[in-house]
Chain A
Amino acid sequence: MRSRITGATFAVSLLFLAAACSSQDGKVWMEHNTHFASGEHAFFSLKNNKNGSNPKVTRLDIEDSRNQNWWGIYPITVNQSQILQN
């Protein structure tokens, strides 16, 4: 009985996935498999209206965005020692 329920659930899940997502959607989802990219993203979304009306952006939101935008990317930039010494 339990295996039948498990099998049915699996089949329904497959049908749902097939109906709702194209292969491209699936690929994107697999690459970003959470709704929010981060805790900061979640907080920002929760404190502002879903339709984007009257959002409030604080300095911390900007700092969060800046940090997360650059995650994993290391820009090629001049070293401080090329310009100054302490």
Chain B
Amino acid sequence: MQLRFVISAVVLVLATAGPVLAGPSDVLIPLDQYTTAKAKNLATVHQRELLKFSEYIYHCLPWLAVVKNGIGFPHPKGAEGDDRYLSVWVNVDQTEDPSFEAMPLPRRASAMFSRYGVHLLKRMTQYSEITSDNDVQGFLVVLSWLKPGTANDKSPTTETIALFVDKPTVDDFLAKRIESSAFTERAKYNVFDGKTLVGRVPLEIWEDNFNSTYKLKNYVVEEGQHC
């Protein structure tokens, strides 16, 4: 009898111990944190599609982690007036990699944006209720990844690229009506090394189908989710 009690207690402790995990709805910018009526209205009206986008990343791209308040309609620094952009900010799960480390920062930023940024933009344009809303100016993608050589530091450093661009330019780029060079010319972006602003580095974009072809070994998609 006592043994059964002890086992039950241990199971209960194991089940409840550990950090509270963030699910797809936990990464949306909370409504009360928007500072303008326009932004709050967008987030209210399009809550369903924002959640669908978050669920897609959560279940289908498990190598990406959306940061806290990483999905919503913020105003990017440098954008006009109260322009609002459908936005996503993800951390890319990546360990140290010698070939990645050998690249200079502009090349690393280009590789990251080619692989993850373009894929996320493609996905974002599929949410028709959001993209057809005239109050949505465009798209903002922020990617952060481990700076090579800092994994074992007491405080590892991340590198980040933040890029925002208007809807017509994204449509033209994805439909291959404009070259990638025209896309990067029109886009506004900055690269950061840790907290330090590096600024606008030469950005090249190339085809990369990693996200649509890569299968994580032994990963089981949750029942009811389709990737």
Contacts and interface: CB of A to CB of B under 8 A. Distances in A.
A73 interface: yes
A38 to B, nearest CB: 6
B65 A78 contact: no
Contacts of B146: 75
Contact of B77 (A56, A75, A84): A84
A83 B35 contact: no
A60 B77 CA distance: 34
A72 B57 CA distance: 26
Chain A residues touching B, majority SS: mixed
Interface residues of A, number: 31
Interface stretch (A3-11, A16-24, A25-33, A63-71): A63-71
Interface stretch (B68-76, B113-121, B199-207): B68-76
Of the candidates A38, A42, A79, A86, the one having the most CB atoms from chain B within 10 angstroms of its own CB is A86
B194 interface: yes
B21 A80 contact: no
Contacts of B76: 83-84
A82 interface: yes
Contacts of A62: 62, 219
Contacts of B93: 66
Contacts of A74: 155
Interface of A: 38-40, 42-43, 54-60, 62-64, 66-68, 73-80, 82-86
23 contacts: A38-B17, A38-B18, A39-B14, A39-B16, A54-B218, A56-B218, A59-B62, A59-B222, A60-B21, A62-B62, A63-B21, A63-B22, A73-B155, A77-B157, A78-B160, A78-B192, A80-B69, A83-B77, A83-B162, A83-B190, A84-B76, A85-B75, A86-B34
